[in-house]
Amino acid sequence: MHWKSVLRLGAAALMLSAFVPVERAAAQAPLPIRFIMDWAFEGAQAIWPLGETDGCYAHAGLAVRIDRSYGSADALTKVASGAYDVGVSDFSTMVGFDAQHPEKRLIAIFMVSDVAPMSIVTLKGNGITKPSDLKGKSIADGVTEASRVMFPVFAKANHIDPKSINWVTTSYALRQQLLVQHRADAVAGHMFTILTGLRALGVKDQDIVVLRYSQWGVNFYGNAIVTTPAWAAAHPAAAKAFVACAAQSIKSSRADPKGAIDALKKYNSLLDEKTELAALAFSNSIAIGTPWAMKHGLSDVTHARLEHTVTEATEALGVPTPPLADVWTDKYLPPRKDLMLAK
């Protein structure tokens, strides 16, 4: 075995022994968990298969089945229906979902991304350099994608009438093509996915304009691990173990990005390694490893920012604002020291 592989395996073993809880005796069968991601098997999602290949799930007594979704709203619907036990979704989208479906509400148990990568992306020459330039323009996106679901929040923060936007509903695979073909003035979505798609179509970075929601008045938390209160209450040790593996996988993907992409290949054998490495690095630096997270650790949620996210999202969507305890809990987090990121 190559010496780098030995080091990689050794590091994984040390991290496992350091903080992953073993909730089930070896003689017991692993607990099955049906898990759905927020999107496809791309670079930013590499942390989830990594928990499988490095043995974290198995060590914790979990048998995790990983599936893709077609956006946050899709993942939320499937977890709420009981088709999946645990999922990943944009947090503010989950808040809106809960307000509209109080009988099927979900709760976030781990904040994956400190900042939401929601964005509007366009090309130079389309006359869009700031949010107000979107008035009267066409934006392409799928109906369940977080940037479209949360666009009313972005519109409110930037004094845009949402009715002035002409939405072009399309599949996520065709979104970037519509922009390049000038069949839409802009596209909405997860900025890493859009940039990767545009680069694959030959668009140069210097010709791309990105309006990140977080830089234009929508400083919301990003993706979160979500589940039903009933599932978490019935499986508290499993919830803690899954969250611990998520934290470990984030840290491992930062230390060894290639190892994370190698884990992803089991689910996406046709991926372009260079492209997905860049997407993972972008996610780890822009959405996850923010200055706040680097100082305070993963999933360090403050009451003030949580309240801001929940209040602003629900007011802009015109839905009731739920109690904070109904949408977020930190009871399944590992010790803070295990959530700290290496500089």
pLDDT recorded at residue 149: 87
Do 185 and 281 fall within a single domain? no
- Closest CA relative to residue 327, chosen from 248, 178, 240, 226: 226
Residue 286 maps to which CATH number? 3.40.190.10
Counting the structural domains of the chain, the total is 2
Q: In the block, which residue shows the tokens 């009438």?
A: 161
Q: What is the pTM of this model?
A: 0.85
* Interior/surface letters 103-140, b for 16+ CB within 10 angstroms, e for the rest: eebbbbbbbbbbbbbbbbbbbeeeebeebebbeebbbb
pLDDT band at 248 (very low <50, low <70, confident <90, very high): very high
What is the rounded average pLDDT for all residues in the chain?
A: 91
Neighbouring-strand partners of residue 208: 123
Instruction: Point out the least confidently predicted range of 20-24, 111-115, 186-190, 334-338.
Output: 20-24
SS3 312: helix
- pLDDT for 13-22, tens place per residue? 444 444 444 4
Give the angle subtended at the CA of 54 by the CAs of 250 and 286, to the nearest 5°. 15
- Closest CA relative to residue 228, chosen from 30, 100, 84, 332: 84
Q: For the chain, what is the largest distance between any 2 Cα atoms, rounded to a whole number of angstroms?
A: 64
- pLDDT for 270-321, tens place per residue? 999 998 999 899 899 999 999 999 999 999 999 999 999 999 989 888 899 9
Long-range CB pairs of 204-209 (<8 Å, 24+ gap) are: 206/124, 207/123, 207/124, 208/121, 208/122, 208/123, 208/124, 209/121, 209/122, 209/123, 209/124, 209/126, 209/128, 209/129
* Residue-number span of the structural domain to which 33 is assigned: 3-114+221-339
Do 106 and 153 fall within a single domain? no
- pLDDT for 158-206, tens place per residue? 999 999 999 999 988 899 999 999 999 999 998 888 998 999 899 999 9
Do 108 and 228 fall within a single domain? yes
Do 304 and 179 fall within a single domain? no
